[in-house]
Chain A
Amino acid sequence: MPDRRHSEHTAGAPLNAVHTALDSWRIASEPFYQPQGREVERFEVACAQSIPLLLKGVTGSGKTRFVEYMAWKMKRPLVTVACNEDTCASDLVGRYLLDAQGTVWHDGPLALAARHGAICYLDEVMEARQDTLVVIHPLADTRRLLPIERKGELLQAHPDFQLVVSYNPGYQGAGRDMKPSTRQRFAALDFGHPEAALEARIVARESGVDSLTAERLVSIGRKSRQLGQYHPDEGLSTRMLVRAALLIQAGLAPREACDMALSQALGDEDDLQQAMRGVIDAHFES
């Protein structure tokens, strides 16, 4: 059984899912995704050529939603791994676990996806250490092999296997950079904040508020991104604007909803919080 703490599946299926079909990792219903450019077509072409993909973008810009949408569209299961500093190679590939009978091998999410032909999505891949990432090198070039030394197996990736990684380029501290040998195995897609009209449509569609409120929220978001230039953080993401819109739709007054959802999102500094409150006050009358 796959190690539960490494894979997030969206369908909420029971734990004893069938291994081979990876059914519990399939996306059941269409997730809403608003394309910003030609990223859908580009993803499909890259998948057809089995070229691994690197998604670069600020937080909340739709990377994860995009991958879910493509997994649904191409009818492939999606295995997600949230990488962090402690992620090591065996977390990705798999390890032996001990039970009453002895030792039994459990595939990690990467091996699972490679074996059964799923999309493997490594989120925040820069957080993981560089020597951990080297394990994906054989999968990411033309060989498409995953050597599992502990088991003595050379796993040939399923033709449907697709590797997708993502990271936030502005987030890392010093020394946190992808090795060139890793970086040059990926094709890249850039994700930024969508332009105002698109973003308003996304906010309105996700939350159900009217378009005028959505436009005002988007304007607040854009101003916060300007303020974010004076500050290490980036400004409000589309996700936070959708949250504020959901609160408004649920019945909170606009200023109150924005205060809850938006004003602390830029950090705890007094100056920035005051300025954000001023901006929110300026946009909404009540």
Chain B
Amino acid sequence: MAAPETAPLASLGLLLSALADSRQGVSRIMAPALSEDETPAPRRPVITRQQLLLPATADWSGFEPAQGALLYRASVAHAAAHLRYSRPAQPVQRLKPLTVAVTSALEDARVELLLVRDFPGTRRWFADCPQAPPNPHGLDFSALIARLDRLLMTPCLGDDNFWVNKARSLFGSVADLTDEAAFRRIAALLANDLGQMRVPFDPHQHLAPAPWRDDHSYLWQHAQTETSATAAAGKGAPPPAWPSLAHDLDARATATPQAVMHRYPEWDERSAIMRTDWCSVIEQARPAPASPAGAVEAPGAEQRWLARQLPSVHARVLRKQREGDDTDLDAAIVALLDHRSGLMPDPRIFTRSPRKPSPASILVLLDLSQSANDAASGAAPGNGGAGPSVLELEKRAAVLLAQAVGPEGLHRLAIHGFCSNTRAEVRYQRLLDFGERPDRAALARVRSATAQYSTRMGAALRHATGHLLQERGAQRLLLLVTDGAPSDIDVFDPAYLVHDARAAVEVARAAGIQVSCAGLGRNAEADLRTIFGTMGYCTVANPFTLPRQLAKLCARYIA
């Protein structure tokens, strides 16, 4: 069984959305609990409306490494059953914890039966999943529930406890499995019995006995504020599953409600050591886009010009060539006809097919640091110094490029931005994702990005490399758009971050990603040359020509 960090989250997420008929987000693994809020690590899957959160295997009580795949599948099926048939967030009101627990247990069994009725193949999924057999003589609450579960799944086994048998016969007496009210009445009855029997019950320690069942937070809404686990759910983007690539890019994701944090190493040139876990890159949740200013621009001449610069997919067969791979039939026939008629035949009778470009993934990384708020140098004179800022030009260039690539283009484009405020807070924003349509909302989000703080290039480059490594194209290009050398307020040696960025670029290139830079203004040229190599960057003297320079860089690197 693969380690949890490389569990097949994507395929499980797809399976969940297929079974649940909803646009369910991808399931993700919850990391061990953060130390901030002292809540214990969750030991059962947590279902939310957007995601299914699976606990880390160390915490998942009942997890057996050899059978992990079966358990994942059963968890997905159970979550799908709840999403299809359960009503979420029922108010607890004045129900006693014991009643809540019994209702949840019956609800689990009910939805699983409904799922098996609609998808008969899932019966084996639950049956094959390994589970510790219940203590046949146990009389505490968990044991009784476990015995009831086993009896409901395999009635032939039988049980000798009065309460368990009563529960089973009441459960079976409800004719219609979709009648939720009847099941709640039964649950109230049974909980009353348990209360009178004085069965010990600890609501904080109780877990559903079957390890694939959830923690029931989906079903109930408590009057007080939600626990951190449910608060974490439904907000923020799920962290991508990182491929492990050499020792440099080892990153562990820890999640907070609005953001996802990744740790990256940093290279110290003077000491020649790689400081592990030195920087924290915080990938923020999407900012809400500002209202789009003005009308949407129709694709103007500039977009069309840009689109022509990018290698396109429709490489036409060139006909009537003097030499080539294949015969141009029409031209050959005309040549023979001419020959027979006594005229001079035209020798251009071949066809040649130019090489088709393969799809590329381009990540444009914008430097959103404070220096980008300055007016662009090289602005048209006589403007009174009130020309557009570097930030505006960067955003405009990125938007133009996105429109030129187009939603159905051959290539995939993403626009990300970064800034940093010491090494503990490198902010990273995904303004436009791969495969996302550059429509009004997305472009408005790009246009509404703001600039602040400093430029810690190396950490941002490493994070962007991780994103690009998930792309499957044959060609991957990372384009950095910056207006100066890397710097940060907690670093005093100016060469330190330059060498760190250079190390990050080397690692990315070794992984097969092309890295290039468009530097605005001439002041950082020497540093950019150190980072990207002599041929790996271009200086944009007039920032108004940035879109064309970006397109040229794309065309240069993409075959």
Contact = CB atoms under 8 A, between A and B. Distances in A.
Given A86-B317, A173-B410, A274-B15, 20 more contacts: A85-B317, A95-B330, A95-B333, A103-B340, A129-B316, A174-B313, A175-B313, A176-B314, A223-B18, A226-B18, A270-B11, A271-B8, A271-B14, A274-B8, A275-B11, A278-B19, A280-B121, A281-B122, A281-B125, A284-B120
30 contacts: A85-B317, A88-B330, A90-B330, A98-B333, A103-B337, A173-B314, A173-B409, A173-B410, A174-B313, A223-B18, A226-B18, A226-B21, A230-B17, A270-B8, A272-B11, A274-B8, A274-B11, A274-B15, A275-B15, A275-B18, A278-B11, A279-B15, A279-B19, A281-B122, A281-B125, A282-B77, A282-B119, A283-B119, A285-B120, A285-B124
A222 to B, nearest CB: 9
B11 A227 contact: no
Query: Which 6 A-B residue pairs are closest in the complex by CB-CB distance?
Result: A275-B14, A274-B11, A271-B10, A271-B11, A282-B119, A278-B15
Q: Which of A223, A230, A278 has its CB near the most chain B CB atoms (within 10 A)?
A: A278
A174 B406 contact: yes
A98 B76 CA distance: 67
A282 B122 contact: yes
B160 interface: no
Contacts of A280: 121
Interface in A96-131: 96-98, 102-103, 129
B11 A174 contact: no
B217 interface: no
Nearest to A220: B18
Interface in A174-220: 174-176
Classify the interface of chain B: helix, strand, loop or mixed: helix
Contacts of B77: 282
Contacts of B445: none
A172 interface: yes
Contacts of A88: 330
Interface string A254-271: 010000000000000011
A102 B313 CA distance: 41
Interface string B114-136: 00000111111100000000000
Contacts of B410: 173-174
A227 B121 contact: no
A175 B314 contact: yes
Contacts of A96: 333, 337
Interface string B14-38: 1101110100000000000000000
B252 interface: no
B73 interface: yes
B312 interface: yes
B121 A283 contact: yes
Contacts of B143: none
Interface in B111-161: 119-125
Interface of B: 8, 10-12, 14-15, 17-19, 21, 73, 76-77, 119-125, 312-314, 316-317, 329-330, 333, 336-337, 340, 406, 408-410
A172 B408 contact: yes
Chain B CB count within 10 A is highest, among A270, A275, A279, for: A275
Most buried by A among B121, B312, B329: B121
A272 to B, nearest CB: 6
Interface residues of A, number: 36
B328 to A, nearest CB: 9
Contacts of B14: 227, 230, 271-272, 274-275
Contacts of B10: 271
Contacts of B21: 223, 226
Contacts of A95: 329-330, 333
A173 B11 contact: no
Contacts of A284: 120-121
Contacts of B329: 95
B353 to A, nearest CB: 9
B120 A174 contact: no
Nearest to B315: A85
B79 to A, nearest CB: 13
Contacts of B337: 96, 103
Contact of B312 (A129, A174, A285): A174
B329 to A, nearest CB: 8
A208 B54 CA distance: 43
A90 B406 CA distance: 34
B237 to A, nearest CB: 15
A283 B12 CA distance: 16
Nearest to B336: A98
B488 to A, nearest CB: 38
A61 B434 CA distance: 30
Contacts of B121: 255, 280-285
A202 B77 CA distance: 30
A274 B2 CA distance: 15
B484 to A, nearest CB: 35
Contacts of A283: 119-121
Contact of A226 (B17, B76, B333, B406): B17
Nearest to B317: A86
Contacts of A86: 317
Contacts of B11: 270-275, 278
Contacts of B122: 281-282
Contacts of A278: 11, 15, 18-19, 73, 76
Contacts of A226: 17-18, 21
B1 to A, nearest CB: 15
A174 to B, nearest CB: 4
Contacts of B124: 285
B84 to A, nearest CB: 12
A214 B119 CA distance: 14
Contacts of A275: 11-12, 14-15, 18
Contacts of B76: 278
B343 to A, nearest CB: 14
Nearest to B120: A285
Nearest to A229: B23
Nearest to B10: A271
A174 B413 CA distance: 14
A49 B162 CA distance: 80
A275 B119 CA distance: 15
Nearest to B313: A173
Interface in A65-98: 85-86, 88, 90, 95-98
Nearest to B472: A269
A280 B119 CA distance: 9
Contacts of B19: 223, 278-279, 282
Nearest to A223: B18
A196 to B, nearest CB: 13
B254 to A, nearest CB: 24
Nearest to B122: A282
A246 B12 CA distance: 29
A224 B21 CA distance: 11
Interface in A151-181: 172-176
A85 B125 CA distance: 47
A286 B148 CA distance: 28
Nearest to A282: B119
